[in-house]
Amino acid sequence: MPHITGIIPARYKSTRFPGKPLAEILGKPLIQIVYENAKKSKFINELIIATDDERIYEVAKKFNADVVMTPSEIPTGTDRVAFVAKEINTDIVVNIQGDEPLLTPDMIDSAIEPFFTEEKIDISTLAVKIKNTDDLFNPNVVKVVFDKNNFALYFSRNPIPFCRDALTKEEWLKKGEHYKHIGIYVYSKTSLLKFVNLPNSKLEELEKLEQLRALENGMKIKIVITEKDTIGVDTPNDLEKVIQIFKNKKEFSNAG
């Protein structure tokens, strides 16, 4: 079996929500919920939080996480993950977004599984079918189209594929299948280090989607379809939505 390392990048200075890794959800910091979920993965052998901030470092130490300090000038989460991964003897690296508290252990495992069966694969990630027009036409919800073998063809902030014959937004959902990309990435270590050393690509710069850099350079991205959706915490409003979901879960489990 390959050795699999999960790395959670956590930055304090988010533009839209400064300090969000430490924002509380029912008494626990966001980063702790993400860490504890990932810790339940069947396949991850070691799990590390990679941060540039002493406050996040200290909080992570309090809940006994393995945490590494990284330089603050590292530009992206993926670069932060690669900075840590390059020093580790491992085969597969899972980039687990630090703002995805609804990402479950089985979702993480399903993203990893293609590496056990596929020979020609650089990256794998998740997608869920879009069921409402708000998500379909929201540029903050990234869409993906893929080939018959579930390898990504393109990611976009626009709704893709384009439904030429649809007369209303609702008809788009009836006539075509549209998928939302869920931001977890599993890489072979070799592919991750190759990816971060590639120059930013033209499509990546236009859409502001770094996974397009991989596609433009011929890297193979496997799409795993999941039935579960998530809400990434990008704003305080997102946090409130997630808190409500956790409250409802707690009330349901208490009732049961």
Mean pLDDT, the chain, integer: 94
Give the domain CATH number at 75: 3.90.550.10
Tell me, what's the pLDDT at 137? 96
Give 137-189 pLDDT, tens digit per residue: 999 899 999 999 999 999 999 999 999 999 999 999 999 999 999 999 999 99
pLDDT at residue 253 tops 70: no
Residues 176, 131 contacting (CB under 8 angstroms):
no
Phi-psi region of 208 (alpha: psi -120 to 50; beta: other; left: phi over 0): left
| DSSP sequence for 16-60 | SSTTGGG-EETTEEHHHHHHHHHHT-SS-SEEEEEES-HHHHHHH
Burial 104-128 (b: 16+ CB within 10 A, else e): bbebbbbbbebbeeeeebbbbbbbb
Q: Does residue 249 lie in a domain region?
A: no
Q: Does residue 246 lie in a domain region?
A: no
Lowest mean pLDDT among 8-17, 27-36, 53-62, 103-112: 8-17
Q: Does residue 252 lie in a domain region?
A: no
Tell me, what's the pLDDT at 58? 97
Q: Does residue 49 lie in a domain region?
A: yes
User: How many domains is the chain built from?
Assistant: 1
pLDDT at residue 256 tops 70: no
Give 110-128 pLDDT, tens digit per residue: 999 999 998 889 999 999 9
Q: What percent of the chain has pLDDT over 90?
A: 87
The average pLDDT across 212-230 equals: 97
pLDDT at residue 15 tops 90: no
Tell me, what's the pLDDT at 171? 95
Q: Does residue 67 lie in a domain region?
A: yes
Q: Does residue 44 lie in a domain region?
A: yes
Q: Does residue 179 lie in a domain region?
A: yes
Under 8 Å CB-to-CB from 166, ≥6 apart: which residues?
172, 174, 175, 176
The whole domain housing 135 covers 4-241
Q: Does residue 9 lie in a domain region?
A: yes
